[in-house]
Structure 1
Amino acid sequence: MAHDDVKPAASLSHLPYADATRSVRHVFVRDYVTDAEIGVWEHEKDTRQKVRINVDLSVLENNDHHGDQLDKVVCYNDIVLNIQKIISQGHINLVETLAEEIATMTLVDNRVIGTRVRVEKLEAVEGAASVGVEIERHRYS
């Protein structure tokens, strides 16, 4: 197979977010697809369109083991629920704004030391599988 025949993956590639030497684990949400009121163009107002969201987190592990208890880990379901809350607040002009709001939301948890967020609009440009933005933010203390 020629190199040109390789189809790129829609997901973020594996990132070195987990690091046992620093007691860091990788928590992620991959290819979450939902509808959002997003866009600056007139035809994007008062309508919803499909977006795909990927979130990768670097999370500090506690010295105490999680003990198989949900309240001792960063929960990916909570991340999705909070993304839904952000989107439900109303129209957002830019994918950059949505990505920033998601990144800010993830960094509220002090265990999260780094976040990478990708937001893709799936129906915005004819002929393109998606268009969007990817950002990375870190907690500096």
Structure 2
Amino acid sequence: MNKTTGAATIMQMSETDPVQCDRIFVRDLVLDCELGVYAEEKGITQKVGFSIVAAVSPDVGSRTDEIAEVPSYDDLTNAVKSVMAEGHINLVETIAERIAARILEDRRIVSVRVRIEKLERGPAAVGVEIVRPRGSSC
């Protein structure tokens, strides 16, 4: 597997995975969001980057070229937007957990990696990345 730098590092997966799964992804989605625990973060929005990689069960695929047959990157984007539409959330960790849980509601997804970056805090970007498997390791 090629090693990458910057935002693309989310795409790296272990080369020792027992099952190779197809993946869908959204990289560097930037939204104005209401989040943060500090007083200066309340009542404002800040730019937040979202990158998501979802591993798809090996038995899922398009047989008749119909979008309904496969999970879509639109599903990933919609999960982010629906969580952020709930209003102010204090912790990026909470946001990541909610996004992962929403994506894993689709039984065709076997694991998800969610990276959230607060783009207006810190030296460049600060945030969190979580990986949540359904039980299968991809």
Which category of TM-score, normalised to the shorter sequence, fits these structures?
0.7 to 0.9
Bigger radius of gyration among the two: 1
Tell me the SS of whatever aligns to 2:75: helix
Using the alignment, how far apart are the partners of 2:62 and 2:74 within structure 1?
20
Deviations 1:71-102, CA, capped at 9 Å, x for gaps: 00101112112211110110000110111111
Using the alignment, how far apart are the partners of 1:64 and 1:132 within structure 2?
33
Using the alignment, how far apart are the partners of 1:48 and 1:58 within structure 2?
31
Partner of 2:30: 33
State percent identity of aligned pairs.
40
- Going from structure 1 to structure 2, the CA distance change for 1:35 and 1:24 (only over 3 Å counts) comes to same
Does 2:64 align with 1:44?
A: no
> How big is the shift at 1:124?
1.5
Q: TM-score, normalised by structure 2?
A: 0.85
Does 2:6 align with 1:16?
A: no
Deviations 1:20-46, CA, capped at 9 Å, x for gaps: x84621111111101110000011001
What amino acid does structure 2 have at the position aligned with 1:36?
C
**Superposition CA RMSD, Å:** 2.3
> How big is the shift at 1:64?
6.3
Point out which structure has higher relative CO (alpha carbons under 8 A, 6+ apart).
2
Using the alignment, how far apart are the partners of 1:120 and 1:63 within structure 2?
30
What amino acid does structure 2 have at the position aligned with 1:102?
I
Partner of 2:110: 113
Tell me whether 39-48 or 61-70 shows the greater mean CA deviation.
61-70
Does 2:88 align with 1:91?
A: yes
- Going from structure 1 to structure 2, the CA distance change for 1:13 and 1:101 (only over 3 Å counts) comes to closer
Partner of 1:100: 97
Q: Determine which of 114, 130, 138 is the counterpart of 1:135.
A: 130
Partner of 1:57: 54
